[in-house]
Structure 1
Amino acid sequence: MAIDTLVQDAIVVHRKSPTTSQRKLGETETSYYLPSRESGVNDMYLHLGFKASTGRLTPDRFLLVWAILRLRHPLLAARVELCAYDDIRFIYDHPKDIEETLRSAQQAMELCSQTKDELIDNYLNGQRTLSNDRLSFLILSSLQTFSLQNGTESENEQEFDLLICAAHYIGDGMALHTFANEFFVLLGGKLNESELRNLLELEVKQFAKDRKGFILPSTVEDQLPLLSQSKFFKAAAKIDFKLSQRKLVGGQSFPKVHHPLRHTVVPTVSFDPLRTNSILRTCKTNGVSISSALFAICNIAWARTHKKNPEAPVMMYTALNLRPYLKAEKALNDSYWFLAIGYFNIILPAFLPQSCDGVRATFWHRAKSAKKQSADAAKHPLIVHRTLEMARERGSRARVWARQDDDRAGVTVPSVSLPASVSLDNVPVPECLVGSSKAPSTALIGLSMLGNLDGIYKHIDYHGLELHTLTTGSRQRPGGMLLFGYTFVGKLWVSLGYDENGFDKEIVGTFWKNVLSAVDELLM
């Protein structure tokens, strides 16, 4: 189906305009963008609670730092245009001068007086904060609003809450946390407001000078190196992908409840540094990371919560950081704000032994199994090709669902065949080589294992600022659930983000209680 003439003319204008840069969304980005259009599904947030001297944190300083970083990382300041299901584009309007840069940043931030819980609840359950024209947003909150307004040089310490909001299709968890560190390094740095403004002016001038060669960060599909372009190799890689998908067997799930309204909650628990050190030592003694241990913790907690159908295994899904696999080449703009994640699954048995000693031994065995499965997925020789095929499949599925949603809403969006991004293409694979599987492939829960975030946050460089709390997550679809585990400021944090209206509350409550008790029982 041809693109409408007016749409095609608009694309040509954008391509010729010296004041804009653009590129198509890749398959992974598309798979996140299309479901987000109606209600912001997967829109990310990162909350950071911190103390700061009021003389160091003024509205003007906050705005200058935000403006500098939006210039360094253009996808934060870009917009999205849906020309067709196969042609979705990031459009970045080049700022003309420092005033325009500051004005644009000002429109993408807010100063308010809300508690942490209010900020997160409003973002997750209220009207969508982001849109096609606003891909990122910052909210700085303090209950002592007078200190934000007077801009004095007072060194009184004050509590602040920062909420960093970003569409998932412009980045991932690594981008969020790397950005937060860069933000606090500038905010807590030695440059005063006048010097920050000079830095912004220099960056605007440098940007204007290099604008002709400016490009947006590439898609992850274009940055992944292929082992071979031959048709035979592509067919073999596609067979490998299909066979790997057949191994995904899971028959456990939380009982769902149909409710007209979604309401996401995020119960969060942290363990003090002493207990955290003890937990980490116990994991190290048993040869696993805390991430592998948390997969086994969820497995044990579920077995204690739901004893039906024990012969069906538990499958949990998680994200794979693809940044270590990317090509070493750097573009003129080497921003870390782009989406670079893949996916893999951990599968463990659902039954438990009867004795307490047996449970402990089983727990460590399953933690080691989770470690091996994670390593096998990350180190597989065809990981890049599996990732590309999964991206192609997710992108195609997202387009089908988007068309169905638009048809029901009476919305018409063109669908065109344009050159595909780097993938395994449509190499035919005989069905007899992969067969079909009738085994269930239901996932129990998703886990986001962020690791030791203190390796990213350079606290020593945040002069006059002291970070003490971190919570992260995303807007969910009805019936969504995701468990986060990470260490921050020397503490282990575990949080469970889920739609409390979408599940049997008693079962989810029992599961969460069992997760925390299993940590105390098995990791101490």
Structure 2
Amino acid sequence: MALTQVSSMTTTANTLADAMEHTLALNSTSTVPPSKTMRFERKLGNSELSYYLPSRENGVNDMYLHISFRAPTRCVRGRRPELVWAILRLRHPLLASNIVMNDYDDVRFVYTTHQSPEAALLDAQASLRYGSQTKDELLESYLNGPRTLSDKQLSCLFLSSPDFTQNGLPDASEASTDAIHECEYAMCTTHFLGDGMALHQFSNDFFGLLGGDKSDSELRILLDEEWQKRWADVNPQTQVLPSCMEDCLPPSSGSKFQHVAEKVDFIRNQEKQIGGHSFPRRSGKPCRTTVSLVPIEADRTGKILKLCKANGVSISAAMFAICNLAWAKIAKDKKELPMMMYSALNMRPYLIPNQTLYNSYWFLAVGYFNIILPSFLPGSCDENKIFWHRARAAKEQSTRAAKSRMIVPRARQMAHERGVRAKAWGKEDDEKAAGTWKAPPPAPPKPADASKAPSTALVGLSLLGNLDGIYKHATFPDLQLHLLTTGTRQRPGGMLLYSYTFAGKLWVNFGYDENGFDKEVIDEFWGNVLTGVDTFLSSPQLTSRI
């Protein structure tokens, strides 16, 4: 896309003043006295371990959030992005932490303080990368190239534009213009460090500072202030790092009966998670993630949202139903078994607030729930009515999961179970890599349990809702954010479908390992999903309930 050139008629006095102010901001030396470095650490919780241990070899589940945006020169020139990045890394210490693994039960976040604001800025510069790559080039490199992140670097920020050099936008050649630059932003972190809610809130804060009304010199002063209030007189015993999710869940009564009841409830609830369908898989080739992103225009998105509301569901519930019908048209057997889809549940509303020096929102806080729907299509019923009926069933199941009085103990028990599995598999992986693994002796045969139903999920859905409720576009009016996509580095055979509204549009985003599945089946399913959006969410007539 050609860059739009706007008027560059400015007075010589304004240009010189602007350039001088910018130069002073970059070259200023802080009057803040240096401090001794201090080290703060805490152990990873079970949820964090369940993401950390599998990520070690090749970055499985490393997250990214990409946004395409247009910006005037003043917002992206020189060191301004680095000042913003440094300020936010001071506010959220896990972004600037590293990992130390002592044992499978003892993996720790370690945060070492910066001696001065200048040291914080230098540290931020080391993890901010400028370039001229396109969106597709950035994502291809991050998803399918060598791992970007590591135990020593848990976060990284990419800014790319055809106008950037390796050090960003040059000051001298562009300081006096109001050119508009087409830019790519990609925020990358490990999943054990945080979740999607943290990614989006952080990006809103980043653009709020980058496109806000503070000058470069004012941002430099803000960096000094952020450092000063944290490290001028900090107590080494202060809790600096946000606690893990499990430590922030409201405690149970502590009685033996309560613990037993919670465990029984968890087991019974897991037994109800029945699913008998999966995509045909292929193996033998390395994982290669491909991403398909489909936007729906704003005027049509508005009509879709009104249609969903009139039928008593959210767009998230509608997407579960669309995926269900997309598969039902493909499935050739096991019609007697239901189809199961899994999704993440935001646990932040259920937590005791983190009372730390930072009150940072960068921590992992997700639970999990499943949606279970029939895998067949009745021949005697109108397909449109089936769709809305199943969308309402998905809404009911989602609401039941989020509002269950057992949600906290179930989340705690699930975190424990995932942590135990991750430690066992991590140990096994390390022993296999070292050539020391020995297969356990075969277990004695057990009688077949014909009553035990399968619990296989077909696909995962990450339904992020209305992201325009998070991005306060009016607070950075000089920036135009116009495209968003998100995802993770995947394991072989990984698959995840995202749906969200952003910049007034509905977006459907499908990421999967193209070497891990039968291509014809995947293409047919994805085609059915897009057809379902067209068919069920574009009807001018509101469907009556059945």
The reply to whether TM is greater than 0.5 is yes
Of 257, 275, 284, the residue aligned with 2:300 is: 275
Q: Distance in 2 between matches of 1:176 and 1:208?
A: 25
In the other structure, the counterpart of 2:83 is 64
Letter in 2 for 1:72: R
Q: CA deviation at 1:436?
A: 9.8
Tell me which residue corresponds to 1:120.
139
**1:401 corresponds to:** 425
**1:360 Cα offset (Å):** 1.1
Is the CA contact 1:305–1:514 (under 8 Å) kept in the aligned structure 2?
no
Q: Say if 2:243 and 2:354, in contact at 8 Å, map to a contact too.
A: no
State the alpha-carbon separation in 2 of the partners of residues 406 and 316 from structure 1.
31
Q: CA offsets, 1:472-518, max 9 Å, x none?
A: 00000000000000000110000100000000011101100100001
Cα displacement (A) at 1:412: 9.1
Deviations 1:170-199 (A, max 9, x none): 100000000000000000111111111111
2:193 paired with 1:174: no
1: CA distance, partners of 2:352 / 2:397: 25
Residues 1:488 and 1:260: Cα distance change in structure 2 (over 3 Å): same
Tell me the residue number matched to 2:183: 160
Distance 1:461 1:93 in 2: 33
Which range moves more in the overlay, 437-446 or 173-182? 437-446
1:412-491 aligned within 5 A? 438-491=452-505
Deviations 1:87-108 (A, max 9, x none): 0000000010012101110111
1:133 aligns with 2:140: no
Provide the rounded CA distance (Å) in 2 between the counterparts of 1:153 and 1:57.
13
Asked if the contact 1:246/1:436 (under 8 Å) is kept, the reply is no
Whether 1:302 and 2:316 are equivalent positions in the alignment is no
Q: Give the Cα–Cα distance (whole angstroms) in 1 for the partners of residues 73 and 37 of structure 2.
A: 42
| Cα distance in 2, alignment partners of residues 56 and 481 from structure 1 | 36
- Preserved contact between residue 37 and residue 115 of structure 2 (Cα < 8 Å): no
Distance in 1 of aligned mates of 2:389 and 2:152: 49
Letter in structure 1 aligned against 2:407: I
Post-superposition CA distance 1:288-345 (Å, at most 9, x none) = 0000010000000011122322111100000000000011463222000000000010
SS at match of 1:266: strand
Instruction: Note the 1:13-412 alignment, pairs <5 A.
Output: 19-145=38-164, 148-150=169-171, 152-212=175-235, 213-328=238-353, 330-354=355-379, 358-410=382-434
Q: SS at the partner of 2:497?
A: strand
Note closer, same or farther for the CA distance 1:204–1:245 as it changes in structure 2 (3 Å cut): same
Letter in 1 for 2:363: F
Normalising by structure 2, report the TM-score: 0.87
Q: Identity of aligned pairs, percent?
A: 55
SS in 2 for 1:176: helix
Q: Which amino acid aligns with 2:411?
A: T
Distance in 2, Cα, partners of 1:484 & 1:207: 37
Does the 8 A contact of 1:446 with 1:482 survive in 2?
yes
The structure number with the bigger radius of gyration is 2
SS in 1 for 2:214: coil
Amino acid of the residue matched to residue 156 of structure 1?
A: A
Question: 2:432 and 2:69 mapped to 1: Cα distance?
Answer: 46
Identify which of 510, 531, 542 aligns with 1:496.
Answer: 510
Q: Which runs of 5+ in 1 are unaligned?
A: 1-16, 414-434
Deviations 1:327-377 (A, max 9, x none): 14632220000000000100000000225x621111111111111111111
Q: Partner of 1:277: helix, strand, or coil?
A: helix
Q: Residues 22, 412 of structure 1: CA spacing in aligned structure 2 closer, same or farther, 3 A cutoff?
A: farther
Give yes or no for contact 1:70–1:77 (8 Å, CA) kept in 2: yes
Cα-to-partner distance string for 1:362-417 (whole Å, 9 max, x where unaligned)? 1111111111111111111111000000000000000010001000111899xxxx
Task: Specify whether residues 272 and 281 from structure 1 end up closer, same or farther in structure 2 by C-alpha distance, changes over 3 A only.
Answer: same
Moved >3 Å (runs of 4+): none
Inter-partner Cα distance in structure 1 for 2:247 and 2:120: 29
Instruction: State how far apart, in whole Å, the 1-side matches of 2:378 and 2:162 are.
Output: 51
Q: Determine if contact 1:108/1:136 at 8 Å carries over to the other structure.
A: yes
Q: How far apart are the structure 1 equivalents of 2:317 and 2:408?
A: 23
Partner of residue 530, structure 2: 516
Residue type at the aligned position of 1:373: Q
What letter matches 1:149 in structure 2?
A: P
Residue aligned with 1:258, SS: coil
User: Which AA in structure 1 matches 2:510?
Assistant: L
SS at match of 1:391: helix
Aligned length: 486
Q: 1:436 to 1:388 in 2, by over 3 A?
A: farther
Cα distance change, pair 487–215 in 1 and its aligned pair in 2 (3 A) = same
Higher mean displacement: 232-241 or 189-198 = 189-198
Cα deviation digits, residues 452-491 of structure 1 (max 9, x gap)? 0000000001132110000000000000000000000110
Deviations 1:243-292 (CA, angstroms, capped at 9, x unpaired): 00001110110000003211101101010011101111111011000000
Distance 1:153 1:183 in 2: 24
Letter in 2 for 1:385: P
Report the residue type matching 2:241 in the other structure: L
C-alpha separation between the residues in 2 aligned to 1:390 and 1:306? 30
- Label 1:134 to 1:329 Cα distance change in 2 as closer, same or farther (>3 A): closer
Q: Do the aligned residues in 2 keep the contact of 1:48 with 1:162 (CA within 8 Å)?
A: yes
Counterpart Cα distance in 1 of 2:163 and 2:436: 49
* CA distance in 1: counterparts of 2:90 and 2:83, whole angstroms: 11
The 2-side partners of 1:489 and 1:77 are apart by 30
> Which structure 2 segments of 5+ residues have no match?
1-35, 438-448, 539-546
Please state whether the residue corresponding to 2:303 is helix, strand or coil.
helix
Between the aligned partners of 2:152 and 2:486, the Cα distance in structure 1 is 23
TM-score (norm 1): 0.90
Contact 1:246 1:437 in 2 (8 A): no
Partner deviation per Cα, 1:415-457 (whole Å, 9 max, x = no partner): xxxxxxxxxxxxxxxxxxxx99621111000000000000000
The alpha-carbon deviation at position 144 of structure 1 amounts to 2.2
CA distance in 2, matches of 1:70, 1:100: 12
SS in 1 for 2:371: strand
Deviation at 1:211? 2.4
What amino acid is the match of 2:259?
K
- The 3-state SS of whatever aligns with 1:52 is strand
Cα distance, 1:218 vs. partner?
0.5
Matched residue type, 2:506: L
